[in-house]
Amino acid sequence: MKKGKKLYEGKAKIIYATNDKNLVIQYFKDDATAFNNQKKSTIEGKGVLNNRISEHILSNLSQIGIKNHLVTRLNMREQVIKLVEIIPIEFIVRNIATGSITKRLGIEDGTVLKEPLIEYCLKDDKLGDPLIAEEHILAFDWASKKEIEKVKKMILRINDFMIGMFRGVGIKLIDFKLEFGRLKVNGKDEVILADEISPDTCRLWDSITDKKLDKDRFRKNLGDLIPAYTEVAKRLGILHEQSNVSAVNVTKLSSVKRK
Ligand code: TMP
């Protein structure tokens, strides 16, 4: 497969064309941003870890029938993915209240929600990804009623699966963000899971200590982001126990070929 020109550059990833019009390459950068790009940094090794963790989660999701864009991981920073038309909505799923919802609604941090809560944000950096209602999605044709219903069903299955997967390795899945895209299958649009699922897009707390193992380490200046992401990867069985946590070692480890 030949890598072609850059099609799109986001805050944490770059998309490149390939010689197959249906496939693109997703490159994971080391850039970290928060608060709609107001806080920025580069954290060596982050992209490598997110590539591996996201590959692991998306391939597990395909095994339970959740269709997604991942075709294969190419190397330590790149994946081949299906080209989709991204639905311009960030779907936020919350199991425990923390982050923006606590400030917005005055909910106590750590409140366990009776049921998973799905929130919608318009994917628009210039507007700061504003929170919207399902009615806005329909009013402005960002997605159809049928697509939203399908996405909601997928989200609840993804959430159940991921809660179990993380619980099994001593991690609480607090909340996360998903994106979906449209794929043409036999002339018809099908909605599939897209983007990435990683500690950049989830809140993950150690089950016993509540230690933060996600991008809040960057957002809240807690430090040690690479050791935290490495811990997540190790617990999921992606990296081996003997590996050290420095970015350099992460880089070395990640060049080891997949089984
Ligand atoms: P929030 O509490 O800041 O609204 O974030 C909720 C979840 O969504 C959290 O796991 C972080 C994730 N998220 C992203 O992945 N990208 C974003 O742009 C935002 C705002 C949140």
Q: Which residues lie closer than 8 Å to 159 by C-beta, 6 or more apart?
A: 93, 95, 116, 173, 176
- Do 192 and 172 share a structural domain? yes
Quick one: which atom of ligand 1 is closest to the CA of 102?
Answer: 2
What local confidence, expressed as pLDDT, does residue 195 receive? 98
**228 φ/ψ sector (left φ>0, alpha ψ -120 to 50, else beta):** alpha
204 lines ligand 1 (CB under 6 A): no
Per the DSSP assignment, residues forming a β-bridge with 212 are 205
Q: Is the CB of 179 under 6 A from ligand 1?
A: no
Separation in Å, CA 103 to CA 36, 37, 108, 228: 16, 19, 9, 25
What pLDDT, in 10s, does the model give residues 27-43? Answer: 999 999 999 889 999 99
| pTM for this model (two decimals) | 0.93
Ligand 1 pocket residue status of 212, Cβ below 6 Å: no
Task: Calculate the alpha carbon distances from 243 to 75, 226, 239 in Å.
Answer: 19, 13, 7
Do 31 and 53 share a structural domain? yes
Same-domain check for residues 120 and 23:
no
31 and 102 both lie in a single domain: no
Residue 239 belongs to a domain: yes
Identify whether 30 is part of a domain: yes
Q: Give every residue of the chain whose pLDDT is below 70, as ranges.
A: 241-259
Residues 11, 115: one domain? no
Same domain for 130 and 182?
Answer: yes
- Please report whether residue 218 resides in a domain: no
Where in the sequence is the domain holding 27, given as residue range(s)? 3-84+225-255
Cα 110 to ligand 1 centroid, rounded to whole Å: 16
Residues 202 and 231 in one domain: no
* Pocket of ligand 1 contains residue 202 by CB under 6 Å: yes
Residues 69 and 45 in one domain: yes
Output the domain CATH number for residue 172.
3.30.470.20
Ligand 1 centroid to Cα of residue 124, in Å, is 14
Count of C-beta atoms within a 10 Å radius of residue 40: 12
How high is the pLDDT of residue 256? Answer: 41
pLDDT, tens digit (0-9, with 9 covering 90-100), for 83-127: 999 999 999 999 999 999 999 999 999 999 999 999 999 999 999
**Number of compact structural domains in the chain:** 2
| Ordered DSSP codes for 52-72 | HHHHHHHHHHHHTT--BSEEE
Distance 92 CA to ligand 1 centre (A): 7
Domain match, 125 and 96 both = yes
> Is the shortest distance between the CB of 177 and ligand 1 below 6 Å?
yes
- In this structure, the answer to whether residues 169 and 182 fall within a common structural domain is yes
Looking at the fold, whether 102 and 200 belong to one and the same domain comes out as yes
Distance 176 CA to ligand 1 centre (A): 6
- 93 & 78 share domain: no
Q: Which residues of 47-81 are buried (b: 16+ CB within 10 A; e: fewer)?
A: bbbbbbbbbbbbeebeeeebebbbbebeebbbbbb
- Residue 240: its pLDDT value, please? 75
Does 51 fall in a domain? yes
pLDDT score at 144: 98
Whichever domain contains 230, its CATH number is: 3.30.200.20
195 lines ligand 1 (CB under 6 A): no
Using an 8 Å Cβ cutoff, are 97 and 108 in contact? yes
Angle at 195 between CA 192 and CA 198, to 5 degrees: 120
Q: Is any ligand 1 atom within 6 A of the Cβ of residue 119?
A: no
Cα angle: 151, vertex 164, 208; to 5 degrees: 125
Do residues 98 and 110 lie in contact, with contact meaning Cβ atoms separated by under 8 Å? yes
Residue 254: the pLDDT is 43
